[in-house]
Structure formats: structure tokens, C-alpha cells
Amino acid sequence: MREDERLSKVEIVLNEEESRQIDEMFGEYLADSEAKDIILLNKSGELIAKSGDITSDAAVMVSALAAGVFSATNELARLLGEKEFTITFHQGKETNIHISLITPSVLLAIIFDNHAPIGAIRFWAKKIGNSVKDIVKKAEKRSEEQRGATKGFGNDLKDEIDNLF
């Protein structure tokens, strides 16, 4: 299994402090960037964090669809001989969405209105992504370690059950 495939299967759970830090950052960046919404999600489409006026239900749906779009775009990249495309951008009449890869398993989706210049959107996406990257990597590492510990427990339990019979 490739490294990016293994990491995309890691369930990332933020602790209370990490969640507070990201909420704080997202709140500041929403005001500074004039973005409508900021969504942090994993490549499986699970919502990790959100900020803005978007409802939780809508953020869950956007996360799932954004991950699907990103995955499809990366299949296109592979067909074209690229390892991956790290950014996907969709521009509508009223709303734009910028989806970028910030770690091998986590995406950042930023929703802007159509008044924001594309260069400004890319600038803010990179700035926000870099700001949360260390927090996300720490959470990924912790999740991976917990997963490893749980996997060992499962094997031990299986062995004990087998020994009973």
C-alpha cells in the first residue's frame, strides 16, 4: 500500500485544544480573506472542522463531494502522467470553491464569492493551509499511533479467543 493510500484511511480526530486553535485561525482568516466558508476535511470526505455561515449538514455534504471531486481530478492527473494535482478550483457565477491538499490525507476547501480575484483566493488558500498543517500533522500522527495500538489489541484479543477453543 502506498503512503498516500495508507494516510488517506487515517481517521483524524482533533483534540479540544487543536479544535480551538483551528477555529480561532479560521475565524481570523474568514474576516481577513473575505471567504464565505472554510472547511477542513479528509480525503475520504469526512468533515474535520468548519467555519463560516455554512451549516453542519451542508459542510458534511460539501466535504463528501469535495473529496470526490478531488479524487476524480487526481485520477485525471494520473492519466495525464502527473503524480497528482494538489489544487482544484471551480468558478461559478456567484460562488467559487478552492480545494487544496495540505497533507497527504487532508484537504482544505475555501468558498469565496465571485468578487475575489483568483490570485487572492490562491494566496489565502496557501496561507490558511500552511497555518493548520502542523496541527493536522500532529493529529494524524496521534491517530496513526492510536490505530497501531488498537490493531495490536485486536490481534491479542483474537489470539486469546483462539486459545479458548
52-63 pLDDT, tens digit each: 999 999 999 999
Any idea what the CATH number is for the domain that residue 160 is in?
3.30.450.30
Residues 24-34 pLDDT 10s? 999 999 999 98
pLDDT at 24: 96
Closest CA to 69 of 109, 35, 23, 37: 109
Closest CA to 97 of 133, 131, 70, 132: 70
Local confidence band at 160 (pLDDT 50, 70, 90 cut-offs)? low
Pairing of strands 95-103, 106-113: antiparallel
Backbone angles phi, psi at 11, to 5 degrees: -80, 120
Segment 128-147 shows an average pLDDT of 90
Domain extent for 17: 3-164
Segment 57-81 shows an average pLDDT of 97
Number of domains in the chain: 1
Whole-structure pTM value:
0.82
Radius of gyration of the chain (CA): 18
